[in-house]
A and B are shown apart, each in its own frame.
Chain A
Amino acid sequence: MLKTTLAGLRAHRLRLLLTSVAIMLGVGFIAGTFVLTDTIEAGFRQKFAAAADKIDIVVLPAEGEGPEEPAVRAELLEKVRGVGGVAEAQGIVRGTAALIGKDGKAAGDFPTSGISIPEGRLNRTEIVSGRAPRSAAEAVLDENTAKTRGFSVGDTITVLDSEQGKHEFALVGLFDIGVDQALAYTGAVGFTTATAAEMTGEKGFREIDVVTAGGVDAETVRRSVVAAVGAGAEVKTGAQYADDLAASNGANTTVLMVGLLLFGLVAMFVAALVIYNTFNILVAQRTREMALLRCIGATRRQVFGSVLLESAVVGLIASVLGLLAGLGLGAGALAVLGRTGMEVPSGGVALAPRTVAVGMVLGVLMTVAAALLPARAATRVAPIAALRSQVEEQTFRTGVLRGVFAGLFLLAGGGATAYGVSTGPGESALYVVMLGGALTFLAVLILGPVLVRPLSAFAGWLPRRLFGVPGRLAVDNSQRNPRRSATTTVALTIGVTLMTLISVLTATSRETFGAKLDEQFPVDYMVQAQGGREGGLPRALAEDLRSRPELASVVALRTTTAKVGGGGARDTETVGTFTPAGGFTPKAVTGSFASLGPGAVVLGDQVAERLGVKVGGTVPVETEERGAVRLRVVATFSMESSLLPSVTVAEKDFEEFFGRLDDTQVVANVRDGVAEDRARRAVEAAAQPYPTAMVASSTEVRGEFDEALDMMLMIITGLLGLSILISLLGIANTLSLSVHERTRESALLRALGLTRPQLRRMLSVEALVLGVIGALVGVALGVVFGWAATQTMTTGVIFRLPVAQVLAFVALSGLAGVVAAVLPARRAARASIVGSLASG
């Protein structure tokens, strides 16, 4: 029996090849994910270990309270230095020190970080060119920032201190930021420790690094340091520190891994459908072979085993190839990530034993599981079938059981979705909708064979009329074996559903965000300090803007944070005010802004709700200058559609309560009739003297959001592309097997006068119809569940159906089907008529 199976495998090499490719791609994707994340993690671990190697003990701030970054108090450094066994100790300073770009404005959306570069053994930063700073007049830049901002060693750079004062430094070197994600995000300027403390204004240290004297046990010294510093800090050995860092970074890698694996599982599921279909068809075609085996004495169990063995061998070979593909995919992804500027470890890629195990087990199990039903069907072949000359056409009837199951799933899915949508926005609602989607998909899976006939009649309406006899025959053929067509198309449906879902989500987000932006950003320009720092804009800036004839309605917003509310509702809120200007009339939900005078307050709706106050009530606010005051609520406004601070008081009150603060934001509109670019120049000219003043326009904000959305859409589309590719393999597979089954039929048609191009066209149209059916179902599901998902995102969703995109999906699916049919169609058209008539 084993020999027969192996001989069968050899004979069907080509047919099983496509199946293998499907599994291979699935396993490859999953293995590639592991390879990628393993390599990244190993690289980080190695870097952390290398960094930690230089330190024996590290003193870290104890978990602090409040919004301030926790720091190690500076005086602890001397205490640590005094501990026996400590050879050297250095405090590491880290804060902000905004680098000024060549245009005179602070570089980047966020100020660069200012860090200390200690000298000697404890210097953990790697200077890649030049040298470390040695005096107060020298500084180093991270490599990336230097490159993007156009600085090189020998230049003079200007950096702002914490009071916004400008300081010039000689750029003496460039350093590698290494694995620190926060620094990589902002960019960093390095100084000597003393200069770093001066520039950043930081009083304490981010950490204190310690080297122990030779021959002393690190753990013993650690205990002494703990005793010296007391409860104010946490003390770890270098090895512990490295482990902790790697672990927290590992969490990030895990998120990436889980995300990618989800796509991998989708691909594997699609592959399983393809395998199931292939084995089903193979078994159907080999009915006579099976029957002959039964005739000469093979038991049902042996036939069953033979099919399963065949699937196991295919799964095994495909999984091995998949692992190799995964290695390649992982390396490729790393190379791509490296090009986009991400810090990528240089260590080689490798297949971890876990990757091999997961890949092999998943690949083989999926294949064998998908072949179980076909194998069972094989055992049902009666020995007498060997003697029948013609294989009977499979007939399909909608069973009661099928209808009942499909109905139940549909009901459950629809119910869950409706419930999720009705409960309103929220994460749990989204999960309920996702569950509803999954259940509905199962219903569609069960109903597939029933749906094929009407759908192909629909999808085939045009081809039937357009392509003459080949078109009509093709549409008939696509309905011929509903079960087979359904499984083939469902594989494609999965990919198209997810693609449609994503594009509906992005289109709707774009639209909704756009509308909200118009509400929230009812201004043409907004100026605020780099990173949105409170009180970051000197008042002179707003004065300058008001004096410019190109602008109208210049409004300054001043904010601070204060404790608001009493009892259990007491919490920190943004308290602020705005300078009135003509044309700026904030809208109230309840009450009126006109009543905003001394002792009055306007609350954002969400804050009012949290505090449980309405117009007419009072709210206690903790102020700097006047202590606790009670303010009368005169109006509430919608926080979603306003720039105003959530607790807004009159300008005069604000100054009395909190002192004469600078502006946080200044907004301005273009005066009617002034050209956009002239207005822009005016705003920029006003902002020019203030390096950290950042100008944003509503079009820019929208553009950035659009870009981010497009990027996400592209990445997800790319990841889903794999499952679509696999489903196309499925179509190619089904078609080539159908072509094989219909060899004699094709020969007959050729004899009756169908030309080769017509025969090819017939198969192309069949594939087109299959592709379009898959896409239609996918688009329908994607649109419905895309809509349902957007309803759970936020309130005031403006649903937008990306019609062009959706139509493109349908058209591309049909086209892809045609492409998948190219090879099978060629084979069918090439076959000799005489040979085909004689066969079978």
Chain B
Amino acid sequence: MTITGEVGAWSAREDAVPAVLARGLTKVYGQGDAAVHALRGVDIAFATGAFTAIMGPSGSGKSTLMHCLAGLDTVSGGQVHIGDVELTELNDKQLTLLRRERIGFIFQAFNLLPTLTAEQNIRLPLEIAGRQADQVLFDRVVETVGLRDRLGHRPTELSGGQQQRVAVARALISKPQVIFADEPTGNLDSRSGAEVLSFLRTSVRELGQTIVMVTHDPVAASYADRVVFLRDGLLVSELAQPSPQSVLDTLMKLEA
């Protein structure tokens, strides 16, 4: 296990090795008759420096897939790789350290600790890991998401959009190998949502960040480089360079 320390510059990641790789991934909840097969054998790779959206109808297993890929949940079968590390063999502590070092998160809601200011929230993952933030990177990230004048505020003093931008900044600051975003715009109005999605796309284009986003919104998905579609725990389709219309069309076909 050499996941600590090796973080690397973003530019160094643009190679053939996918940032995230899953093989034969299965996830079963419950047992016997009550067993629910959330994932029935998913094979998927997420290229480094790409923005990928995971879509699918409710109950398709898209959130479960993300939780399994991010090491938040255990898998029932198959393998998950983050870079060169195999997740399914790690214990809780190793998984925690892996998340700390290599993964960033943006959740739909309740992303921030209410007791900390925006700046403290942004720096939190680094501090948990006992690392110093790169001040140049910090300034750049803060500029990018436009939070310079809100740094001293606590989450309750920020709007929903501002809160999500703080979450984006927090995910970016530790230069993770991959950022998982779970419905990051689900609670936002369309303007704030568009802003947050732009920042995500900018970070991919300009910083070479790898982002995997779960969403059910075709417009949000259209910001990604690639959209993969899940149904009943299986990967059923994918689209490159999607538009809202093409995503919607694919979804319609899946629902039918």
Residues of A near any B CB (own CB < 8 A): 389-390, 392-393, 468-469, 473, 476-477, 480, 744-745, 748-756, 758, 832-834, 837, 840
Contacts and interface: CB of A to CB of B under 8 A. Distances in A.
Contacts of B12: none
22 contacts: A389-B109, A392-B156, A468-B127, A469-B127, A473-B113, A473-B116, A476-B116, A480-B114, A748-B105, A748-B113, A751-B105, A752-B100, A752-B124, A752-B128, A753-B96, A753-B101, A753-B125, A755-B92, A756-B92, A756-B96, A833-B72, A834-B67
Contacts of B128: 469, 749, 752-754, 758
A751 B113 contact: no
- Among A390, A745, A753, A755, the one with the most B-chain Cβ atoms within 10 Å of its Cβ is A753
B115 A834 contact: no
Interface string B34-67: 0000000000000000000000000000000001
Contacts of B253: none
Nearest to B123: A469
B130 to A, nearest CB: 7
Contacts of A755: 92-93, 96-97
Nearest to B92: A756
Given A749-B128, A751-B99, 13 more contacts: A392-B156, A473-B116, A745-B113, A745-B114, A752-B99, A752-B105, A753-B99, A753-B125, A755-B97, A756-B96, A833-B72, A833-B73, A834-B72
A389 B113 CA distance: 16
B250 interface: no
A750 B125 CA distance: 10
B189 to A, nearest CB: 15
Interface string B80-108: 00000000000011001101110001010
A549 B216 CA distance: 107
Contact of A750 (B96, B110, B115, B130): B96
A837 B214 CA distance: 15
**6 closest Cβ contacts across the A-B interface?**
A753-B100, A476-B115, A755-B96, A834-B73, A833-B72, A752-B125
Contacts of A480: 114-115
Given A754-B96, A756-B93, A749 B113 contact: yes
B129 interface: yes
Interface string B103-146: 00101011101111000000011011110000000000000000
Interface of B: 67, 70, 72-73, 92-93, 96-97, 99-101, 105, 107, 109-111, 113-116, 124-125, 127-130, 156, 170
Main secondary structure of the interface of A (DSSP, over half): helix
B132 to A, nearest CB: 13
Nearest to A750: B96
Given A477-B115, A751-B99, A753-B99, A393 B156 contact: yes
A745 B110 contact: yes
B177 to A, nearest CB: 13
A744 B110 contact: yes
Nearest to A480: B115
Nearest to B99: A753
A748 B107 contact: yes
A744 B72 CA distance: 14
B110 A469 contact: no
Nearest to A389: B109
A753 B111 contact: no
Contacts of B73: 832-834
Contacts of B97: 753, 755
A468 B130 contact: yes
A25 B105 CA distance: 47
A751 B70 CA distance: 9
Nearest to A829: B92
B150 to A, nearest CB: 18
A832 to B, nearest CB: 8
Interface centre among A468, A477, A480, A833 (most CB of B within 10 A): A833
B129 A753 contact: yes
Nearest to A476: B115
A758 B128 CA distance: 9
Contacts of B110: 390, 744-745, 748, 837, 840
Q: Which of A390, A468, A744, A754 has the most CB of B within 10 A?
A: A754
A397 to B, nearest CB: 15
Contact of B72 (A389, A392, A745, A751): A751
A469 B124 contact: yes
A834 B27 CA distance: 14
Listed residue (A389, A390, A392, A755) with the most chain B CB atoms within 10 angstroms of its CB? A755
A697 to B, nearest CB: 63
A473 B124 CA distance: 10
Contacts of A477: 115
A840 B128 CA distance: 25
B133 to A, nearest CB: 13
Contacts of B99: 751-753
Nearest to B64: A834
A393 B93 contact: no
Contact of B115 (A390, A473, A754): A473
Nearest to A477: B115
A840 B109 CA distance: 11
A754 B116 CA distance: 16
Contacts of B100: 752-753
A476 B109 CA distance: 22
A758 B124 CA distance: 14
Q: Which among A393, A749, A837 has the highest number of chain B CB atoms within 10 Å?
A: A837
A457 to B, nearest CB: 13
Contacts of B72: 751, 833-834, 837
A612 to B, nearest CB: 72
B123 to A, nearest CB: 10
A360 B72 CA distance: 50
Contacts of A758: 128
Nearest to B96: A755
A744 B170 CA distance: 17
A749 B110 CA distance: 11
A833 B99 CA distance: 12
Contacts of A751: 70, 72, 99, 105, 107
Nearest to A754: B128
A476 to B, nearest CB: 4
A748 B130 CA distance: 18
A749 B107 CA distance: 12
Contacts of A469: 124, 127-128
Contacts of B156: 392-393
A751 B67 CA distance: 10
Nearest to B98: A753
A369 B13 CA distance: 65
B176 to A, nearest CB: 10
A840 B110 CA distance: 10
Contacts of B107: 748, 751, 837
Contacts of B105: 748, 751-752
A755 B91 CA distance: 11
Nearest to B66: A834
Contacts of B93: 755-756
A370 B183 CA distance: 44
Contacts of A834: 67, 72-73
A393 B128 CA distance: 24
A381 B97 CA distance: 42
Contacts of A756: 92-93, 96
Nearest to A479: B115
A476 B107 CA distance: 23
A812 B116 CA distance: 30
A124 to B, nearest CB: 75
Contacts of A750: 96
Contacts of A832: 73
Contact of B114 (A393, A468, A749): A393
A750 B73 CA distance: 12
Nearest to A757: B93
Nearest to B187: A389
A372 to B, nearest CB: 29
B142 to A, nearest CB: 18
Nearest to A832: B73
